[in-house]
């Protein structure tokens, strides 16, 4: 131990003034026992403190000495052996120089106050975090919604892209024949296009300019071979006008034609209801 440093730390003054805890007091007592320099320093402070105490000396009231001697004899007669309580007291007096500690009741009071303070503190923290939980929950739900919307949109784009890609491929594929069907009779001016692969039999229709049919009717495509119409399936309008719609496979065709039929299609075309027709070239 650095004795000089210990002496100049102020612990000795605190000890003499009774300002140290019980454990610190024991530590100082041990240091005093072990190091003569510490003992000398402690004694010097102690003696000066006692000089100060002496300065406050006041003569006690005159009758007091007599009273004490009377009690002394009384005590001598009745109680030879000090009571257990007193022994404990005097041991405490001799054993340590520390001041009386905070009474037990007070300690409980401090404890209770500390516990209440902690409880209030924790409640506040809880409240703050709970309100944040609500806030985050709301944000989370909003983000989830947005995410769903985005993936739906993305799905739509993917479909559109795939369709466009398919159309591009068909355009590039020399096996596909493009047949432009012009309006016939009173329907002059309207157009629909057929995209047909005679090898794979795949057939698509692009219903660019057909008018919207009545509720109970539907357009039907026909492949005409040697004057005989062969059903190539019904198709939709509305949103589907912008894309190539797949219809039934067509094995052979010299002419393609579209008629307006009852919903679901007819076994034979209503020739007076023909809207467009186009001849397969080559």
Partner 1 sequence: MGTVLTYTEAELVLGLKSRSEKHFGYLYDHYSPALFGIALKVINDETVAGDVLQEIFLKIWRSIERYDTDKGRLFTWMVNIARNTAIDTLRSKAHKQGQKVQELGSNTMVTEQFAVHQSVDHLGLTKVIEQLNKEQRVIIDLAYYKGCTQEEISKILDIPLGTVKTRMRNAIIQLRTILKQL
Rounded to the nearest 5 degrees, what angle is found at the Cα of 94, between the Cα atoms of 92 and 98? 65
Judged by CB under 8 A, the residue of 30, 68, 130, 171 near partner 1 is 68
Q: Which is nearer to partner 1, 69 or 157 (CB)?
A: 69
Residue 151 in the binding site for partner 1 (CB under 8 A): no
Q: Which is nearer to partner 1, 104 or 239 (CB)?
A: 104
Size of the site for partner 1 (CB under 8 A): 46
Query: Which helix or strand (DSSP H or E) is residue 206 part of?
Result: strand 203-206
Closest distance to partner 1 from the beta carbon of 26 (Å) = 14
Q: Hey, CA dihedral for 167, 172, 174, 177, is it positive or negative?
A: positive
Residue 22 in the binding site for partner 1 (CB under 8 A): no
Which DSSP symbol is given to 263?
T
Length of the chain measured in residues: 282
Judged by CB under 8 A, the residue of 2, 23, 51, 215 near partner 1 is 51
**Bridge partner residues of 179 (DSSP):** 194
| Residue partners of 187: CB distance under 8 A and separation at least 6 | 274, 275, 276
CB-CB contact of 224 with 254 (8 Å) = yes
Q: Which is nearer to partner 1, 1 or 58 (CB)?
A: 58
Residue 102 in the binding site for partner 1 (CB under 8 A): yes
Residue 97 in the binding site for partner 1 (CB under 8 A): yes
Residue 60 in the binding site for partner 1 (CB under 8 A): yes
Residue 91 in the binding site for partner 1 (CB under 8 A): yes
């Amino acid at each position: 131990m650095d004795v000089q440093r210990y002496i100049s730390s102020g612990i000795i003054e605190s000890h003499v003034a009774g300002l140290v805890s019980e454990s610190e007091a024991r530590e100082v007592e041990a240091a005093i026992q072990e190091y003569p320099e510490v003992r000398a320093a402690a004694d010097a402070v102690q003696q000066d403190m006692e000089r100060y105490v002496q300065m406050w000396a006041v003569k006690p009231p005159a009758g007091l000495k007599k009273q004490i001697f009377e009690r002394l004899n009384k005590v001598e007669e009745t109680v030879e052996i000090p009571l257990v309580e007193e022994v404990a007291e005097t041991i405490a007096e001799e054993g340590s120089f520390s001041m009386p500690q905070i009474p037990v009741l007070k300690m409980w009071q401090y404890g209770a106050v500390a516990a209440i303070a902690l409880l209030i503190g924790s409640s506040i923290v809880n409240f703050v975090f709970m309100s944040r939980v609500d806030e985050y929950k709301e944000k989370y739900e909003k983000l989830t919604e947005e995410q769903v919307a985005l993936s739906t949109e993305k799905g739509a784009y993917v479909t559109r892209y795939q369709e466009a890609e398919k159309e591009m491929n068909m355009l590039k594929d020399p096996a596909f024949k493009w047949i432009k069907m012009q309006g016939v009779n009173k329907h002059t001016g309207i157009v629909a296009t057929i995209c047909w692969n005679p090898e794979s039999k795949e057939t698509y229709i692009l219903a660019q300019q057909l008018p919207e049919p009545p509720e109970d009717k539907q357009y039907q495509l026909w492949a005409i071979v040697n004057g005989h119409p062969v059903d190539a399936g019904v198709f939709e309008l509305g949103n589907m006008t912008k894309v190539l719609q797949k219809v039934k496979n067509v094995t052979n065709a010299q002419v393609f034609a579209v008629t307006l039929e009852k919903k679901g299609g007819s076994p034979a075309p209503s020739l007076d209801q023909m809207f467009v027709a186009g001849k397969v070239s080559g």
